[in-house]
Structure 1
Amino acid sequence: MLSFSEKLTTAIQSKNNPTVMGLDPKLEYIPASLLQKWRAEFSDDEQFIEEALVRFNSALIDAVYDIVPAVKPQAAYYEMYGLPGLKALARTITLAKSKNMLVILDGKRNDIGSTASAYAAAWLGKTPLGETERAFWDADALTVNAYLGIDGIQPFIDIAEKNGKGIFILVRTSNPSATDFQDLELTDGRKVYEVVAETLTKWSKEYLGSDGYSPIGAVVGATWPEQAIKMRQVLQHSWILVPGYGAQGGTAADCAKQFKADGTGAIVNASRSLMCAYQKQMELPPEQFAEATRREALRMRDDLIKALRERDD
């Protein structure tokens, strides 16, 4: 069984593209003409919601699966639509995996003991069903929060390791108020996010694969490029998931700081700038939103590759 790191490396190399498309749909992101057309097909609100989300996501996946190695659905955007949203998420995961795309579920889960084990089994493992067991969500990786310490992380590590999956621990998030807690200084002068990164590295050393990576990755936002340089030096055994490119203000040059000298070790996410690319590409009608997304995905890939070539190591 391949490790998550090996799967991710293969996927990125096969498409020469270290990016991931966020799938964070809202009904209002769908072109109005299509939304109106699909609404007319269903008298039932729940059917309409599920089908609209799936059709939107399916078109985006079909548009980029040959050039983008992974998708990152954000669970909250499906949970807010209730059961129809969760059904749409399940179908979206299945669609992406049918196109050989990796699925990073952005759920930021955390708890301790049996509850953490339940979260891990739900998203990364299998749930016991009497004498059998079943993988319900079957994501390839999951974002998690380390605030509760190793008690809240160990169950995720164990199930990820067992099933060839991965986790990405929040280290330095892309939001402006990340400084409220992450920049607090300890008595020894280190900041909280630095301690999280160092602790993550300590945990990782127990689970190294043949490629030098563990299944324990990190989330480090593109909006903090100077801190990212230090995080890359500390997180030698972790893949870094980089949010914040595009709509949040992170540039390709900022993202390039997250990669190792050989251009590996990180994957950059974009969500709204890809999903809603049609809103800026006025030469295309809104109904061709998927083509607009493909064009933006290619532009993003080329932008990032150029930045990696031009960076000062």
Structure 2
Amino acid sequence: MSSLGFGDRLADAIEAKGPLCIGIDPHVQLLEQWGLPLNADGVRAFAEAVLEGCGDHAAALKPQVAFFEQYGSAGMAVLEDVIAEAKRRNIIIVADAKRGDIGSTMKAYSDAWLGESPLATDSVTLSPYLGFESLRPAFDAAHSKGRGTFVLALTSNPEGKSVQHIGGAQSVAANIVDAAREENARQEWSAMGSCGLVVGATVADALEKLKIDLSSFNGPILAPGYGAQGATAADLYRVFAGIENQVLVNSSRGVLSHGPNLQKLAEACDMSREDLLNR
């Protein structure tokens, strides 16, 4: 792995390839649409096609761990192989695992996703709702290994409001943003720190309501919601004004629906990337 921290490596990838992140999401509907079996073999064929068709056309790929895990050890073996191949090809991976726990359990999760296990990769998504500091083993592991984290801060699902919006101007979400900012301030980096946030691309009203200003945030932001989920490029850059170069824009169905043809996958990636770059 490069001696650069994750934030700086991701900044380089965004500059070279644009801000697009493609989900590797082999859920049932897509497997059926692609004509693949609903088992680990189908997941493997799907994941390999996304790697091949999209890997050179996006800044990062984001496997949704649940869609591998549902097939047990065979599915997780596919995920290990995906991670290994991505490393070989120097493709940044965000493992969308949303892990979060306390004490030795969080340490074990951190060793799995940010240490030296076959699942360990460039970065992982984390859930902070047992307290931001409960994630300390992951932050420490990421720092020591040059890896990164994306902490759930403000999501667009309706249920998220019941937790994330509590407190108004001193909301749970605002406190998570502040804590991630402080975490990055403790580290050395050039373009941006390695403690990122997950902020939905469709949450502009919530940011305003909760008086959260992201314009000075010092890490990467993973922004789901672009494309099939409703957010446009204009929406994105209105939400993230001032930190546009730090935003990793996730697209899954909008690109993956063009598979399994590799050329069509690549073309869909390029169209989305151009849409984002020509905002």
| TM-score over 0.5 for the pair | yes
State the alpha-carbon separation in 2 of the partners of residues 26 and 13 from structure 1: 30
Percent identical among aligned pairs is 32
Is the 8 Å Cα contact of residues 113 and 151 (structure 1) preserved in structure 2? no
**Worse-superposed segment, 101-110 or 145-154:** 145-154
Q: CA deviation at 1:50?
A: 2.4
Unpaired segments ≥5 residues, structure 1: 40-47, 127-134, 279-286, 308-313
Q: CA deviation at 1:261?
A: 3.5
Q: CA deviation at 1:219?
A: 0.5
Partner of 1:122: 112
Q: Pick from 284, 292, 300: which aligns with 2:272?
A: 300
Q: Pick from 52, 58, 67: which aligns with 2:42?
A: 52
Is the 8 Å Cα contact of residues 109 and 119 (structure 1) preserved in structure 2? yes
2:166 aligned with 1:165: no
State the structure with bigger RCO (CA 8 A, min sep 6), 1 or 2: 2
The verdict on how the C-alpha distance between 1:195 and 1:150 changes in structure 2, with shifts beyond 3 A counting, is closer
Partner of 2:233: 252
State the alpha-carbon separation in 1 of the partners of residues 25 and 258 from structure 2: 13
Pairs within 5 Å for 1:141-156: 141-156=123-138
The verdict on how the C-alpha distance between 1:20 and 1:33 changes in structure 2, with shifts beyond 3 A counting, is closer
Secondary structure of 1:207's match? Answer: coil
Q: RMSD over aligned Cα, in angstroms?
A: 2.2
1:194-230 CA-partner distances (Å, limit 9, x unpaired): 122122222321124233x222110100011244576
Partner of 1:196: 176
Is the 8 Å Cα contact of residues 214 and 243 (structure 2) preserved in structure 1? no
Partner of 1:223: 202
State the alpha-carbon separation in 2 of the partners of residues 90 and 216 from structure 1: 23
Is the 8 Å Cα contact of residues 143 and 170 (structure 1) preserved in structure 2? yes
Partner of 2:20: 19
Secondary structure of 2:229's match? Answer: coil
Secondary structure of 2:118's match? Answer: coil
State the alpha-carbon separation in 1 of the partners of residues 151 and 125 from structure 2: 6
Partner of 1:131: none
Q: Which amino acid aligns with 2:143?
A: E
Is the 8 Å Cα contact of residues 228 and 257 (structure 1) preserved in structure 2? no
Pairs within 5 Å for 1:33-72: 34-35=35-36, 49-72=39-62
Is the 8 Å Cα contact of residues 244 and 250 (structure 1) preserved in structure 2? yes
Larger Rg: 1
Task: Name the count of aligned residue pairs.
Answer: 275
Is the 8 Å Cα contact of residues 198 and 235 (structure 1) preserved in structure 2? no
The verdict on how the C-alpha distance between 1:32 and 1:254 changes in structure 2, with shifts beyond 3 A counting, is closer
Q: CA deviation at 1:87?
A: 1.1
The verdict on how the C-alpha distance between 1:179 and 1:27 changes in structure 2, with shifts beyond 3 A counting, is closer
State the alpha-carbon separation in 2 of the partners of residues 149 and 114 from structure 1: 15
State the alpha-carbon separation in 2 of the partners of residues 182 and 151 from structure 1: 16
Is the 8 Å Cα contact of residues 154 and 198 (structure 2) preserved in structure 1? yes
State the alpha-carbon separation in 2 of the partners of residues 228 and 304 from structure 1: 21
State the alpha-carbon separation in 2 of the partners of residues 102 and 306 from structure 1: 23
Partner of 1:108: 98
Q: Under a length normalisation based on structure 1, what TM-score does the superposition of the two structures give?
A: 0.81
Unpaired segments ≥5 residues, structure 2: none
Pairs within 5 Å for 1:270-281: 270-278=251-259
Q: CA deviation at 1:150?
A: 4.0
Is the 8 Å Cα contact of residues 222 and 243 (structure 1) preserved in structure 2? yes
State the alpha-carbon separation in 2 of the partners of residues 147 and 30 from structure 1: 32
Secondary structure of 2:214's match? Answer: helix
